[in-house]
């Protein structure tokens, strides 16, 4: 009887050990299979990424990859925290820059020895590097500014090539506004209602991207931003000009609080994609979505600068929007599959085709010399970059939540008439110091 109990005890321990070996971050799996869970933010590439995953799985039948996308109007950062807290930890997830690296360090696998590290373009790894170790793969190179419809500008007699500073931008906006209001453009563009649509509901648009146009000239990079104990707001009046311009020449000049209900879909899908407005503040990531609605409109898009008066004006912010990280707490087999998929996606010929021709990404790595951007906005970003007309993305170094929950929310209060601009600046400065 005692011998039987010992045998049963050994069997239970053996089964428990096997379960532990076969489980880890990707969920349960058979001995011959590996399951990888991806939790990512970029809604614009969700369908195309799913296709890439399917192609990878055909080449690697022992790997099962599940994709979940949370982004657009949703707060990815909050969703990611909830995902980890639920106990269902993803294998691959997204992080921003230095602040995210610090916040998520306990979950980050060291990727310094991955093949793509040596292929990275200059500066592309800085945002996800800490103490000499690389913790994430940069998504791509993105840029944003004032995206405009070239045909509308041409019909209004505006030469976009001459817009190189705030004064010339404002003059063009006023001309366009006048011609929209007097009906001069109605025959050719029957849907056109206003110059701008500004998605103030999306605090990542206001508190991160708009603000970066100014702070990208106060700080030299995200590392310097991350190390700053306080923020001077030395370009606060120039930032106000950009925020006011987009409101004053929108549909809601006389009711600016309504801008706080304008979301990404309203701005892009129901705005510039259907020629309801002529200009939006967004980046090259909108191309795919606009193309699905109207390919002709997508091909007619270009980018105007985001001019900071008193600073660098003929330029746009260009940088790395996000990174791919691997959860170090997954078992070794799962982590190996996750790393292999990311390497395949960015360095194999099939993967590179997805990156450039289906995701419409500007690659952050070498080895893409034969694959230049073909979409209108990718070409525009490349033009600015090659001309040196760029400023850095520094918002990845803001204190956690400051850009959206503080500055973005304060801009909403400004539009609602609850805060003066001086109060926006003062409160945002105070909160930066507290959050640091």
In a domain, 376, yes or no: no
Taking only the tens place, the pLDDT of each residue in 402-417 is: 999 999 999 999 999 9
Kind of pairing, strands 63-69 and 34-40? parallel
In the numeric block, the tokens 């705030």 are attached to 166
Q: How far apart are CA 48 and CA 187, in angstroms?
A: 37
pLDDT of 372 over the 90 cut: no
Q: How far apart are CA 272 and CA 146, in angstroms?
A: 11
292 & 328 share domain: no
* Residue spans of beta strands (DSSP E) within 85-180: 92-95, 129-130, 133-134, 137-138, 142-149
311 & 207 share domain: yes
Determine the straight-line distance between the first and last CA of the chain, rounded to whole angstroms. Answer: 65
Query: How many residues are listed for the chain in this entry?
Result: 436
283 & 425 share domain: yes
Taking only the tens place, the pLDDT of each residue in 46-100 is: 999 999 999 999 999 999 999 999 976 678 989 999 999 999 999 999 999 999 9
Angle at the Cα of 49 from the Cα atoms of 32 and 340, rounded to 5 degrees: 40
Q: How far apart are CA 145 and CA 159, in angstroms?
A: 17
* Residue spans of beta strands (DSSP E) within 230-342: 277-283, 301-304, 316-319, 323-326
395 & 307 share domain: yes
What per-residue confidence (pLDDT) applies to 21? 36
What per-residue confidence (pLDDT) applies to 71? 76
pLDDT of 393 over the 90 cut: yes
Chain centroid to Cα 413, Å, comes to: 24
In the numeric block, the tokens 């563009």 are attached to 189
In a domain, 379, yes or no: no
Q: How far apart are CA 275 and CA 147, in angstroms?
A: 12
In a domain, 121, yes or no: yes
Instruction: Tally DSSP H helices, then E strands, for the chain.
Output: 18, 13
In a domain, 378, yes or no: no
Query: What percentage of the chain carries pLDDT values higher than 70?
Result: 92
Report the number of distinct structural domains present in the chain. 2
In a domain, 202, yes or no: yes
7 & 126 share domain: yes
250 & 278 share domain: yes
Query: What percentage of the chain carries pLDDT values higher than 90?
Result: 88
Mean pLDDT, the chain, rounded, equals 92
Phi, then psi, of 328 in degrees rounded to 5: -70, -15
Please tell me what DSSP assigns to residue 115. Answer: G
Please tell me what DSSP assigns to residue 141. Answer: B
In a domain, 397, yes or no: yes
Q: How far apart are CA 424 and CA 257, in angstroms?
A: 15
State which of 367, 400, 425 marks the end of a domain: 367
CATH number where 174 lies: 3.40.190.10
In the numeric block, the tokens 């913790």 are attached to 135
Q: Which long-range contacts (CB under 8 A, 24 or more apart) does 338-343 make?
A: 338/36, 338/91, 338/92, 339/109, 339/111, 339/114, 340/60, 340/63, 341/36, 341/53, 341/56, 341/60, 341/63, 341/65, 341/92, 342/92, 342/114, 342/116, 342/137, 343/114, 343/115, 343/116
191 & 106 share domain: no
CB of 397 within 8 A of CB of 222? yes
Which residues face 38 on adjacent strands? 67, 92
Return the structure tokens found at 315. Answer: 């330029």
358 & 408 share domain: no
Please tell me what DSSP assigns to residue 343. Answer: H
152 & 277 share domain: yes
In a domain, 374, yes or no: no
13 & 105 share domain: yes
What per-residue confidence (pLDDT) applies to 98? 94
91 & 133 share domain: yes
Q: Of 361 and 8, which is predicted with more confidence?
A: 361
Taking only the tens place, the pLDDT of each residue in 249-295 is: 999 999 999 999 999 999 999 999 999 999 999 999 999 999 999 99
240 & 255 share domain: yes
- Report the 10 Å Cβ neighbour count for 22: 17
User: CA–CA distance from 2 to each of 6, 8, 433 (Å)?
Assistant: 6, 10, 67
Taking only the tens place, the pLDDT of each residue in 3-39 is: 444 444 444 444 433 333 334 576 544 445 999 999 9
> Rounded mean pLDDT of 358-362?
94
Residue range(s) defining the domain that contains residue 191: 143-319+385-435
In a domain, 266, yes or no: yes
What per-residue confidence (pLDDT) applies to 174? 98
Close Cβ partners of 155 (under 8 Å, ≥ 6 residues apart)? 185, 188, 189
């Amino acid at each position: 009887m005692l011998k039987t109990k010992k045998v049963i005890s050994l069997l239970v321990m053996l089964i428990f050990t096997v379960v532990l070996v076969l489980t880890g971050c990707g969920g349960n799996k058979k001995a011959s299979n590996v399951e990888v869970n991806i939790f990512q933010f970029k809604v614009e590439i969700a369908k195309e990424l799913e296709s890439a995953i399917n192609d990878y799985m055909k080449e690697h039948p022992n790997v099962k990859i599940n994709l979940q996308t949370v982004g657009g109007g949703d707060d990815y950062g909050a969703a990611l925290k909830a995902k980890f807290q639920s106990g269902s930890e993803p294998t691959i997830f997204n992080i921003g820059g230095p602040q995210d690296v610090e916040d998520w360090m306990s979950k980050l696998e060291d990727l310094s020895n991955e093949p793509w590290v040596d292929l990275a373009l200059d500066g592309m790894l800085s945002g996800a590097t800490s103490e000499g170790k690389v913790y994430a793969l940069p998504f791509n190179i993105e840029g944003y500014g004032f995206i405009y419809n070239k045909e509308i500008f041409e019909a209004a007699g505006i030469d976009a090539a001459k817009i190189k500073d705030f004064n010339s931008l404002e003059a063009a906006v006023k001309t366009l506004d006048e011609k929209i209001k007097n009906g001069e453009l109605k025959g050719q563009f029957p849907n056109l209602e206003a110059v701008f649509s500004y998605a103030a509901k999306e605090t990542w648009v206001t508190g991160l991207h708009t603000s970066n146009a100014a702070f990208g000239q106060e700080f030299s990079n995200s590392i310097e931003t991350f190390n700053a104990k306080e923020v001077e707001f030395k370009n606060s009046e120039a930032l106000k000009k950009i925020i006011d311009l987009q409101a004053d020449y929108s549909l809601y000049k006389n009711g600016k609080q309504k801008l706080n209900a304008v979301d990404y879909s309203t701005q892009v899908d129901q705005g510039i994609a259907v020629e309801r407005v002529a200009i939006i503040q967004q980046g090259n990531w909108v191309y795919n979505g606009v193309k699905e609605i109207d390919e002709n409109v997508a091909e007619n898009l270009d980018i105007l600068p985001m001019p900071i008066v008193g600073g660098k004006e003929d330029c746009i912010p260009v940088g790395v929007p996000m990174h791919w990280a691997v959860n170090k707490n997954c078992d070794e087999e799962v982590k190996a599959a996750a790393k292999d998929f990311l390497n395949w996606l960015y360095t194999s010929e099939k993967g590179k085709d997805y990156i450039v021709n289906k995701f419409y990404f500007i690659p952050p790595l070498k080895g893409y010399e034969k694959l230049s951007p073909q979409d209108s906005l990718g070409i525009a970003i490349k033009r600015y970059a090659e001309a040196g007309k760029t400023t850095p993305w520094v918002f990845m170094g803001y204190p956690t939540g400051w850009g959206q929950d503080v500055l973005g929310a304060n801009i909403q209060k400004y539009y609602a008439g609850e805060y003066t601009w001086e109060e926006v600046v003062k409160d945002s400065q105070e909160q930066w110091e507290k959050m640091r």
